[in-house]
Amino acid sequence: MSLEFPLLCLGSLTALWLSLTVVLKLLSAARVWLLGNGGLVRPERLGRWAVVTGATDGIGKAYAEELARRGFSIVLISRSQEKLDDVSNSIVSKCGVETKTIAADFSSTDIYSKIEVGLKGLEIGVLGDKQVGISYSYPEFFLNLPDLDPFIDTLVNVNITSVCQMTRIVLPRMVERKKGAILNMSSASGMYPVPLLSVYSASKAFVDFFSRGLQAEYKNKGVIIQSVLPFFVATKLSKIRRPTLDKPSPQRYVEAQLRTVGLQTQTNGYLPHAVMGWVTTALLPAQILNRYVMGVGLSQRSRYLKKQKLG
Ligand SMILES: NC(=O)c1ccc[n+]([C@@H]2O[C@H](COP(=O)([O-])OP(=O)(O)OC[C@H]3O[C@@H](n4cnc5c(N)ncnc54)[C@H](OP(=O)(O)O)[C@@H]3O)[C@@H](O)[C@H]2O)c1
C-alpha cells in the first residue's frame, strides 16, 4: 500500500484540528471581549463587601471606585491613613456606600491580626488583592541593586507574603458561603522572565501560579480566583502620566478587567493587553523575547544612570 493515503488522512486531520482550535479560540475571545460576564461582579451575586489593598492610588483606587459604583461597600487598605480618609470620603460622597479603612504596611509581616480584626464579620464578596505592589526604581543587575538584602525582604513581603496572607484571611468565609471572587494582581512581567527586573518578575510569576493553583483547588466550592496580568497601565508605579490605547488609565483598565471575572482564570484584563500577551507568549520564540526584553532593560538602565549622573 502506498503512503499517500495515510499521509492525506493525517494532513486532513491536522488541518481540521487546527481550524477547530482557531474557531474555538475566536469564539471564546468573542465571549470574553464582546459579551463579558453579564454583570457578575455585583454585591447581590457575590457578597456585600469588597476589600481592596493598595486602594489609595493607581489600579487599586480605580478598583475601589468602580466596585463602589457597582454598589459594594468598600474596605480600603494601604499605608497612609490620610490618603485612606480622602479616598473613603470621596467614595462615600459619590456612591453613598459604606466604607471602612485599615492602615497597614505590607512590608511588615505583623499586620495580619489587625487586618483580620478589621474584616471580622463582614460578608466579603470581592478581594481585590496585590493592588499594592513594589518594583525596582530602575532596571538593574541583581547584585547591583541598592540595599539588596532589605530590598529582597521588602519585595517578598509586599508582593508575595501579602497575597498568601490576605487569601488565608478571606477565603474561609467565601468557601463557607460558596461565593466570592479573589482578583490577584500579577503582571505581564510574570508571564516570562524579565531580566534586570528579575525579583519583581519572579514575584509576579508566584502570584500567577498561586492564583491558578488555588482556582483549581476551590473552583468547585463556588469561589472564583483570578490571576490578572496587565501590561503597562498609566500610574505612579509605571511612571506613565498620559494614558494611550495600549497603556490605559487605571479606570479604563479596571472596567475592562471586571468583565473577564468568571470567564478567564488567567487574564490580561484588557483587549489590547490580551493581544500583546498572545504575541509575546504564543508567537515570539522565548529566546528572541528574552533578548529583546534584556535590550529594553539595558537601555532604560543606562538612560536612568545617565540622568542620575547629570542630576
Ligand atoms: N501600573 C502598571 O503598569 C502595572 C503593570 C502590571 C502590574 N501592575 C501591578 O498592579 C499593582 C498596582 O500597581 P499601581 O501601578 O496601581 O501602583 P501605585 O499607583 O504605585 O499604587 C500602589 C498602591 O499601593 C499602596 N502601597 C504601596 N506600598 C504599600 C505598602 N508597603 N503597604 C500598603 N500599601 C502600599 C499605595 O498607597 P500608600 O502609598 O498610601 O500606601 C497605593 O495605594 C501592583 O501589584 C503592580 O505590580 C501594575
Q: What is the mean pLDDT of residues 171-194?
A: 97
CA 230 to centroid of ligand 1, rounded, Å: 13
162 and 86 in contact (C-beta within 8 Å)? no
Tens digit of pLDDT for each residue in 80-95? 999 999 999 999 999 9
Identify the CATH number of the domain in which residue 292 sits: 3.40.50.720
Strands 124-129 and 49-53: parallel
pLDDT at 38 over 80: yes
Q: Does residue 213 lie in a domain region?
A: yes
- 34 CA → ligand 1 middle, Å: 29
> Relative to the CA of 157, which ligand 1 atom is closest?
31
Is the shortest distance between the CB of 83 and ligand 1 below 6 Å? Answer: yes
Q: Is residue 22 part of a domain?
A: no
Distance CA 298, CA 300 (A): 6
Q: Write the pLDDT tens digit of every residue in 5-14.
A: 888 888 999 9
How high is the mean pLDDT of the chain?
A: 95
**Count of domains in the chain?**
1
Which whole number is the average pLDDT over 17-33? 89
Which residues fall within 8 angstroms of residue 253, CB to CB, at 6 or more apart?
59, 62, 230, 233, 269, 270
| pTM recorded for the entire structure | 0.93
Q: How far does residue 141's CA lie from ligand 1's centre (Å)?
A: 23
Local structure of 144: helix, strand or coil:
helix
Q: Give the pLDDT mean for 252-272.
A: 97
Q: Which of 77, 127, 131, 192 to mutate to test the pocket of ligand 1 (most atoms within 8 A of CB)?
A: 131
Average pLDDT for 25-36: 90
Please indicate, yes or no, if residue 38 is contained in any of the structural domains.
no
Residue 261 is given by DSSP the state T
Cα 286 to middle of ligand 1, angstroms: 28
What are the pLDDT digits (tens) for 155-171? 999 999 999 999 999 99
Asked whether residue 175 is assigned to any structural domain, the reply reads: yes
Residues 166/54, Cβ–Cβ less than 8 Å = no
pLDDT of residue 3: 78
Residues 222 and 178 sit within 8 Å (Cβ to Cβ): yes
**39-67 pLDDT, tens per residue?**
999 999 999 999 999 999 999 999 999 99
How confident is residue 1, by pLDDT bands cut at 50, 70 and 90?
A: low
The ligand 1 atom at the shortest distance from the C-alpha of residue 106 is 32
Given the C-alpha cell 539588596, which residue does it identify? 148
User: What pLDDT, on a 0 to 100 scale, did the predictor assign at position 152?
Assistant: 97
Indicate which residues carry an active-site annotation: 200
Domain membership flag for residue 150: yes
User: Residue 10 corresponds to which cell in the numbers above?
Assistant: 493525517
In this structure, how many other beta carbons lie within 10 angstroms of the beta carbon of residue 56?
25
Q: Which residue has the cell 486532513?
A: 12
Ligand 1 atom showing the smallest separation from residue 130 Cα: 45
More confidently predicted of 59 and 2: 59
What order of strands is seen across the sheet that includes strand 73-78?
A: 99-103, 73-78, 49-53, 124-129, 181-185, 224-228, 266-267
Is residue 17 one of the residues assigned to a domain? no
Please answer whether residues 230 and 59 qualify as being in contact, where contact means their C-beta atoms are separated by less than 8 angstroms.
yes
Contact 200, 155 (CB under 8 A): yes
What is the per-residue pLDDT for 287? Answer: 94
Q: Would you place residue 249 in the very low, low, confident or very high pLDDT band (cuts 50, 70, 90)?
A: very high
Domain presence at residue 255: yes
Residue 24 domain-assigned (yes or no):
no
* Structural domain for 80, as ranges: 43-310
Q: Give the model's pLDDT for residue 130.
A: 67
3-state SS of 58-108 is: HHHHHHHHHHHHCCCEEEEEECCHHHHHHHHHHHHHHHCCCEEEEECCCCC
Torsion of CA 242, 245, 250, 253, to 10 degrees: 180
State residue 223's pLDDT score. 98
Ligand 1: which of 75, 79, 80 to mutate, most ligand atoms within 8 Å of CB?
Answer: 79
* 253 pocket-lining for ligand 1 (C-beta < 6 Å): no
pLDDT, position 111: 97
